[in-house]
Amino acid sequence: MKVLVVGANGQVGKHLVKMIQDSEHMEAKAMIRKEEQASYFNELGAETVVVDLEDDIETISQAYEGVDAVVFTAGSGPNTGPDKTVLIDLDGAVKTIEAAKQSGVNRYIMISSFDTTREAIQGAPSSFAPYVVAKHYADDLLRRTNLNYTIIHPGMLTNDEGSGQVEASEKVERGEIAREDVAGVILSTLENESTIGKEFQVVGGTQSIKEAIDSL
């Protein structure tokens, strides 16, 4: 299985590409924004493609050539304004969904925010609300497609070393999770077809990642 990692140069994306390259049955295609970001992925033996999420759908679709699944891990980041949140976290996600439909890539995994419900939007601080809104509508669009989707809602991300142990369910208590463990969850989700059509929250816990994903 060849997996297109959108937002590969992000912290979760880098962990994920390495894990995919280390796996026996998958290979990664890293979608990056700048050619100078390619060296990390070249050292892993991963294919790279330079595409900007602000490009049009046709341009983004070119990255899907030879791909069996796509993982959206991109984000505008905490230091940008609402304009970039709309362009990347909402419109960028929507365009990658449309590109998947046009390209016939049916497996799509969305890395969302922990809670993207209408209630979460209403309760979010003004600085965070645009991000929750963006994720809410991107998630909603994905649910309405015929794609074989999974939506993952991770807790507060940390740069701690991954423990390999998580708690995953439709609803869990808020908590933290290492970015490395989020990547491990994505890998396990790709390996498990029973996750198709499901969405779940995930935080650090006491179950192995495989056991947690298998029990969904």
Query: Which residue numbers are catalytic?
Result: 131
Closest CA to 133 of 91, 169, 172: 91
Tokens encoding 211: 């056991």
The distance between the two most distant Cα atoms of the chain, rounded to a whole number of Å, is 45
Tell me which residue has tokens 């498990």.
192
Q: 107-134: string of b/e by CB count within 10 Å (b at 16+)? A: bbbbbbbbbbeeebbeebeeeebbbbbb
Tell me which residue has tokens 């650090």.
204
Tokens encoding 2: 């060849």
Q: Which helix (H) or strand (E) holds 213?
A: helix 209-214
> For residue 80, how many other CB atoms are within 10 A of its CB?
14
Question: Bridge-partner residues for 199, per DSSP?
Answer: 151
Q: How many residues does the chain have?
A: 216
